[in-house]
Amino acid sequence: MGNMSAEFLQAKLTDAKTHFERALDCKHTEFDDLYPYMIEHPQFFWYKRYVAWSELLTIVKLCEELSVGWQEQFTEKQAEYIGKRVMSSRVLDEWYETNREHVG
């Protein structure tokens, strides 16, 4: 695989990480534009995070299959959460290790 492809995947990974973190922070993402009617629903933010998490896991899986390093973009703890693949309340509460009081 050429450098361009590795760089492309790294860029996609950065995008997916940003998307997930914006969803965690309840900030605007593409999801809001795709499903504007859902904003009325209480479970909207849960769906939004689920979609962003799935996207992140998909990109990580591609990186692994193509032997492109992905861990560098994450803290050790975040990489551990990704490795477990389950979006638990712990992932949501402790994604930002530096800010324990962070509320999503």
Please give the full DSSP string across 59-87, using - where no structure is assigned.
Answer: HHHHHHHTT---GGGS-HHHHHHHHH---
Q: Do 51 and 23 contact (CB within 8 A), yes or no?
A: yes
Q: What are the backbone angles phi and psi of residue 75, rounded to the nearest 5°?
A: -75, 170
Asked whether residue 89 carries a pLDDT value surpassing 80, the answer given is yes
What is the pLDDT, as a whole number, of residue 102? 47
At 60-75, the pLDDT tens digits run 999 999 999 999 999 9
Q: What phi, psi does 28 have (nearest 5°)?
A: -65, 135
Query: What does the alpha-carbon distance between residue 104 and residue 93 come to, in Å, rounded to a whole number?
Result: 8
Tell me which amino acid residue 44 is: F
**How does residue 85 score in pLDDT terms, banded at 50, 70 and 90?**
very high
